[in-house]
Structure 1
């Protein structure tokens, strides 16, 4: 029996179609005779947590750090138990296994980790599929390879997975515990991607805030040629005083140029005309889709991911939604009529556009060479009831559908004209851009703020192509305008997502920048990025939830806590350099130039050094003003589940109950023994106040709004006595009276057995002469 283990159900379906035999759908797999095809739902296994190795790690303690669980173990992800058991049973009966995961390193890891977990020793082959088209799958089925060829790729992905866990667990615990000693209650989460992401926001905020505005000047000349008015901008000469962006900064200079040109003859020095065809924007990958959804509809990246999941799984109207690719396999071009018809049937808004689309047009998007593990996100051949979708689901579907329809519209044809004007030895320039054939752009006519479209400052109302060089004219006016430089714009979710895909541009070290760019050399749309399309939105969401970043209108800014954490972290943690360096070592692992253990040894040494540094130096971080621990007078009380404890635990074990979200610190003197102090103590679902000299002093009072109720001494809690019941000889229980302060009565402990004997208190003992049944 040959067992195919696919990464996703839809890939399993494609393999079944490629096998071309009659298949029976079973519970968790397809029976194709001698072949069985099963599937995963992404990673079914995850690395064990520290407490899975040793229960003591469940409680965070700096004395346990660093924690290096090597060799590592896996556990089944919650909710994946049923499918993993199906795979195990099929593995036991298989003779040959085929790793049928995606072609990238994470795909290789996803299936290989299952085989390692179940100690598989049977032969394993590898099938490489990046196009679910049946023709492409059949071709891949005829070119199976030995899975051992990809051992380096598996080890490379495993290296990143294990290292990420070691780095995150140890430094998160280390920094959090150090922060707690300063009175912080938050978890200070550290990660290879999330903290550089935080670093991007913090640095942008500080550049924005620290920007010192400077003045520069522009000069607009108004010229008349053949009775036509043309406005052109001054092009600074070599001797002009300019800043690093070629903007004139000398007012006297620019004013002198203006005076020299006013009313003087001018001549058209050059006319450059070019007709240019412009291709439609490519289909979406997840990052671009999230950025557009945020820009157009203010839908968060995390929400966009969940919406696409619903469009894919619930409605089945889009393809794989976590793709980092914008291109499509060439074989999919044949599916265009069916896909366009599905859009027509689903989205009433795009019916007209879908009808006008020409499925014979083959845009630049259809390029198999540029397809990575997945192709771009496009509609499927399935239609759905548009009205049953939520408004946001409709919006996201229409974006994806529009981008696909645009591939079957003609290219946009524009005429671009560059006009160069000379006046008194000074040069002015202007451009015109006239759309001759709109083509696909009619679908995007309302996207005025889409930076992927050409919305340059060219004149779109005047066509300068008819002008001739050497034409004489005159400068009728020259206007100088004073302008101020603007600070770098604060991040929006859209701009932050885009920067995560090209973060290499902010790296100072040219070698590290090169490494990060090389990491993405096979990924169109990524240019030295960190994170993946599937994880970036959840990382941003996590930074919000932990209080490291926040929204200011539509802007994303860092919080005080986020900046404090950024400032106490080593530079390596808040820049993308680590991702670049790890990638270099992962390539060495893949090429058998470095072993997995050698790589992890270096990671562990770095972690150990950092843990020692924090344990020695502590964190230079300020917590919100807290309550000083009355017991040790050194620590700060921090909130736990239902109570407050000292930040110096376990050195100080001071604990205090909670009322109205604050610790109850007040300890009034015991009114009975006068030596002890009353403390608020939890009892079942309520609280009572008892003397801290218990059992010597058994004074207690009910709790009332976080304070002892002195008007109602005692509580419902009885005390066992050495006196016995005359009727059944069982011990008597001493009960405080609820009616009268500091008075008691005695009841038989055999009450549940039917003895209802009761005695009045007589100076601290039961009065047997006044016995009665309760």
Structure 2
């Protein structure tokens, strides 16, 4: 029997060859997706013209066509030739939906009729790959994974292209050449940032007041504070001052309550939490994924990076123990723990049930390379080592002992007009550092300093007296703009943006909007479109984005609503769970797209967009400015109308025309006018 192995990419093929050679057949590498969905005009020639239409083929689904760009053609031909003589195929692509689609689409496209086995792995070292090939399963067992991938790609193709063309043709003013990309996940993501911009624009700082009492006791003078929670703050200074006067001179017993507390560690990293932490270093979400991919694929020192969960399976306890001991023995790990603390259960670290519906577990150092880590880590670049240390120390902390501390609260309750008020302070004294010993570089230093406040040495019930009470003024603070990391976290926790409990539950079940593998790409796309801008490491919505947000909020708010996206995500996941039919789910998403098309075509409102100058126009303007000694500002160089006025009318060889010139035509004429 002749067998072949199909991997997702050349680097993966090299890793498979190093692990099993050609024992399972010739190893052939794809290059990501070697097939693409048809474009609308390839299905229906009339769809070449952009119009507000639902671009759903009569068959319901777009067909697959060969993608021969960027050197993919040769790989496609090689796989096609190998399949003609093969009796069995091993699909050894990544273990997620995309990986399943990459391999299985090729077999469908070339109508392969032989046996198909699926090789699933979450690390690419030799030991893991050897075990994965030895345990290969019939590909039919992963049918729902493929159907879920197929439905997602079809739904996104129809929904995103239909609404992008509709928004572009209905909202963009005549003469302006700009595409308004609308997406099932992209647009609600943009809405999250726009909503924050709207909150910031409406925000007005308010003064509020807290009381600071200086008390006298056997231990000498000390301070306690009366700082009500946000909903009970004092915004009236006169009221705060009256309250301060009313408690002046109070005498009575102080309450001192001490409790020993144990704080367990957090879970290992998934991709969103990794991206959020790396954003504090100034890294983009895309850079974090690229470095994580290199740790997994090139150096093989970590497990699969596109993780959507922070749980580990219970059958990984032994492997995790080996990694734990290897890390504890390293010079830069300041602990001497002998054994890990194994925490199991839904709220703990090891929970097989918590991985239900997931293709891969949390990101951790690769158990199969535990004995080689010391020799492999020197090969990492600076960025790779920095990210590995974060993954490793988060993992070590997760398996480390509890942090034990003594919590002390010193307080007194004073009778005042309107009811009793409480002055207090809280501090922590570390008894056993536990997991914080390795996680210290990543702790919130300001929070830790607050917790470590020195408290007066008082006995419970000791008499004290209030000597003075001051009124301290503070200001409410505006919500912070998103970083790429915190925006990804907001996408993951999109349930917070809806009010209905059932919708919140759906969003939680769907793990937010988008997937760990695509969220960074969505953010990059919004930046390329000019809808998001990065200023000092923070994301801001552009004026065009806010204008689009205003129109969509009024005409079709469902396209901005994370709850609508959550419903779609949940239905797509129903296919994976085997409780829904792929075509019926795609039809539901098409119906949602049709309602948006109808809402936008019923409106005559347009975006306040200005035509952008082409590169050739800018070049022509700069050339004329240099000849005439004119200085053009950056704003002028980005303004089509300003440059048109500066360059003068376009030369015409064919008489007047009512048709708007293309950017190419404009650029050609401008170069001619400047020469």
TM-score, normalization by structure 1: 0.69
Tell me the equivalent position of 1:299: 283
Partner residue in 2 for 1:285: 270
Deviation of residue 292 (structure 1)? 1.8
Q: 1:266 aligns with which of 244, 252, 272?
A: 252
Q: Determine whether 1:361 maps to 2:340.
A: yes
The CA deviation string for residues 62-91 of structure 1, in whole angstroms up to 9 with x for no partner, is 28x432234322234544445555554554
SS at match of 1:31: coil
How far 1:561 moved relative to its partner?
Answer: 0.7
State the SS of the aligned residue for 1:353. coil
Correspondence for 1:544 among 524, 527, 531: 527
Q: How far apart in 1 are the matches of 2:35 and 2:389?
A: 35
Residue of structure 2 aligned with 1:47, choices 3, 20, 37 = 37
1:436 aligns with 2:438: no
**Mapped contact 2:92–2:118 kept (Cα < 8 A):** yes
Structure 2: how far apart are the matches of 1:178 and 1:442? 58
Q: Distance in 2 between matches of 1:423 and 1:610?
A: 59
Residue 736 of structure 1: aligned partner? none
- The answer to whether the 8 A contact 1:357-1:409 is kept is no
Deviation of 1:367 after TM superposition, in Å, equals 1.8
> 1:573 and 2:573 equivalent?
no
Q: What do residues 311-369 of structure 1 show as CA deviations (whole Å, max 9, x unaligned)?
A: 4444444433332333443232243278539xx8xxxxxx5324745463245486252
Distance 1:339 1:3, change over 3 A: farther
2:319 equivalent to 1:332: yes
Distance apart, 1:501 and its partner CA: 1.4
In structure 2, the residue matched to 1:310 is 294
Query: Partners of 2:460 and 2:226 in 1: how far apart?
Result: 18
- How far 1:204 sits from its partner (Å)? 0.5
Distance 1:668 1:143 in 2: 71
> How do 1:300-449 and structure 2 match up within 5 A?
300-328=284-312, 329-336=316-323, 340=327, 352-354=331-333, 356=335, 358=337, 360-362=339-341, 364=343, 367=350, 369=352, 370=354, 372-380=358-366, 381=369, 382=373, 391-406=382-397, 410-424=401-415, 426-447=421-442, 449=444
Task: Give 3-state SS (helix, strand or coil) of 1:434's partner.
Answer: strand
Match in the other structure for 2:470? 479
2:615 & 2:326 partners in 1: Cα distance? Answer: 54
Q: Deviations over 1:102-146 (max 9, x none)?
A: 665445444433332232344555566557799988987898766
User: Which one has a larger percent strand, Structure 1 or Structure 2?
Assistant: 1
Instruction: Note the C-alpha offset of 1:518.
Output: 1.7
Return the offset for 1:183: 3.4
Shift of 1:301: 1.7
Mapping 1:173-184, distance limit 5 Å: 173-184=165-176
Is residue 232 from structure 1 mapped to residue 224 from structure 2 by the alignment? yes
| Alignment match, 1:276 | 262
The CA deviation at 1:558 is: 0.7
* Aligned 8 A contact 2:650 2:673 in 1: no
Pairwise CA distance, 1:164: 0.7
**Do the aligned residues in 2 keep the contact of 1:60 with 1:177 (CA within 8 Å)?**
no
- For residues 687 and 110 of structure 1, the distance between their equivalents in structure 2, rounded to whole angstroms, comes to 41
Question: Does 1:506 find its partner at 2:491?
Answer: no
The alpha-carbon distance between structure 1 residues 340 and 81, as it changes in their structure 2 partners (threshold 3 A), is: farther
Structure of larger gyration radius: 1
For residue 219 of structure 1, give the secondary structure of its aligned residue in structure 2: strand
CA shift digits 1:455-488 (9 cap, x unpaired) = 38435323x7x74432222223222223332222
Structure holding more helix per residue: 2
Count of residues in correspondence between the two structures: 622
Structure 2 match to 1:533: 516
Q: Distance in 2 between matches of 1:457 and 1:447?
A: 16
The alignment status of 1:254 with 2:237, answered yes or no, reads no
For structure 1, which segment, 398-407 or 541-550, has the greater mean C-alpha deviation from structure 2 after superposition?
398-407
SS across alignment from 1:491: coil
Q: Which residue pairs with 2:590 in the alignment?
A: 604
Q: Secondary structure of 1:361's match?
A: coil
Deviation at 1:562, TM superposition (A): 0.8
Q: Secondary structure at the match of 1:455?
A: helix
Match of residue 64 from structure 2: 74
Question: Matches of 2:439 and 2:668 in 1, distance apart?
Answer: 69
Distance 1:459 1:188 in 2: 52
**Alpha-carbon distance between aligned partners in 1 of 2:573 and 2:360, rounded to the nearest angstrom:** 21
Unpaired runs of at least 5, structure 1: 18-22, 237-242, 345-350, 521-528, 627-637, 645-657, 690-702, 709-774
- Partners of 1:357 and 1:408 within 8 A in 2: no
Q: Distance in 2 between matches of 1:515 and 1:688?
A: 53
Identify the residue that residue 632 of structure 2 maps to in structure 1.
none
Corresponding residue number in structure 1 for 2:629: none
Which residue number corresponds to residue 110 of structure 2? 118
Shift of the 222–13 alpha-carbon distance from structure 1 to 2, 3 Å rule, reads: farther
Cα distance, 1:201 vs. partner?
A: 0.7
| Contact persistence 2:123–2:303 (CA under 8 A) | no
- 1:619 Cα deviation after fit: 4.0
| Separation (CA, whole Å) in 2 of partners of 1:584 and 1:705 | 56
- Offset of 1:567 from its aligned partner? 2.1
Q: 1:99 to 1:385 in 2, by over 3 A?
A: closer
Pairwise mapping of residues 212-231 of structure 1 onto structure 2 (< 5 A)? 212-231=204-223
